Amino acid sequence: MKQKKGLFGFLSKTRQSLTNSLGGLFSRVGPLDEAVYEELEDHLILADFGVHTAREIVQHLKQLAKRERIDGISGLSACLEASLLDILSGTDEDGNGELAKKPQVILMVGVNGVGKTTTLAKLANYHKRQGCSVMMAAGDTYRAAAVEQLQAWGQRLDVPVIAQSTGSDAAAVAFDAMNSAHAKNIDYLLIDSAGRQHTQGDLMDQLQKMKRVIGKMDETAPHQVLITVDATNGQNVLSQVEHFQNILPLTGICVAKLDGTAKGGMIVALANRFKLPVRFIGVGEGIDDLVKFSAKEFAAALVPDMDTAESLQA
């Protein structure tokens, strides 16, 4: 069996789930008929691809198999990987590029409990490892613990944190942070925000106010508005992204806790529905456990290879 590296290890739970279900299907000898496609669709739904995305993938597979003149089940594995890569191909943009303007302002949003503040700290660490200067702003003034958490991360990373007291205006924190980042010629300013549900209208309005204040100081900012989602929430993340997208146009997604779930298929569902780039994925609890997303690696990691399938049948 081939040695797996990178995302193969991080996606072990999702990969094992798909290998157990798809391995037997791919290793069969027989023609590609409607029953095979229906079974494949069921397996994808169970892996949290979602009904709509699973159906689209199967339809694409049928077209691809016909075009490539594949009539046996054994050829389905490569077709599935190609189909997934086609969906994910627009989701692994860097989003960073050269620093055309300093500071590059990144606003992080998301619902409560998804690991948003920790992801922001990991992103700060990522940019610092790239040799960039970084500043963080504690825009989650709703919870005292959130401010303290970000300040603790700042001390650990030796990254300055702009903060005010609990209950302060989050837009005022963003204003102070923008001024400080400009004065200190900071490369990246990462701004946290309060975790909120879409039903919390006051907090949603607060997000828009933060964006307006940032935009008045730099009409091109925020340069990125990233939403953090928890991979273990599966299909629920779709409604989260939709609600935030309606309030504040998003530029990308960070997926936390991907290593701890068998629901990795939700990334495919996200990419298929929103066409937003997946910027980073969280693959562990350590500060360095945030990696850039690769559509090619992700598609390859999700699909069992024939060596795996044959070993299951042996």
Interhelix angle for 34-46 vs 76-88, to 10°?
50
User: Domain coordinates of the chain in residue numbers?
Assistant: 7-91+298-313, 104-293
304 pLDDT more than 80: no
CATH superfamily assigned to domain 7-91+298-313: SRP54, nucleotide-binding domain (1.20.120.140)
Rounded Cα distance between 184 and 94, Å, is 25
- pLDDT tens track for 191-229: 999 886 655 667 778 899 999 999 999 999 999 999 999
The 10 Å CB-count burial string (b at 16+, else e) for 205-220 is: ebbeebbebbeeebee
pLDDT band at 6 (very low <50, low <70, confident <90, very high): low
Burial, 114: exposed, middle or buried (Cβ in 10 Å; 0-12, 13-18, 19+)? buried
Residue 183 pLDDT exceeds 70: yes
Give 283's DSSP letter: -
Model pLDDT for residues 103-162, shown as the tens digit of each residue: 999 999 999 889 999 999 999 999 999 999 999 999 999 888 889 999 999 999 999 999
Helix axes 201-217, 236-247, angle to 10 degrees: 50
User: What's the mean per-residue pLDDT of the chain?
Assistant: 86
Class of domain 104-293: alpha beta
Highest mean pLDDT among 63-77, 220-234, 282-296: 220-234
Locus of tokens 């989260």: 240
Say how far apart CA 177 and CA 161 lie, in whole Å: 8
Q: Which residues of 178-193 are buried (b: 16+ CB within 10 A; e: fewer)?
A: bebbeeeebbbbbbbb
Q: What percent of the chain has pLDDT over 70?
A: 87
Q: What is the predicted pLDDT for the residue at 309?
A: 42
The pLDDT, as a whole number, for residue 313 is 41
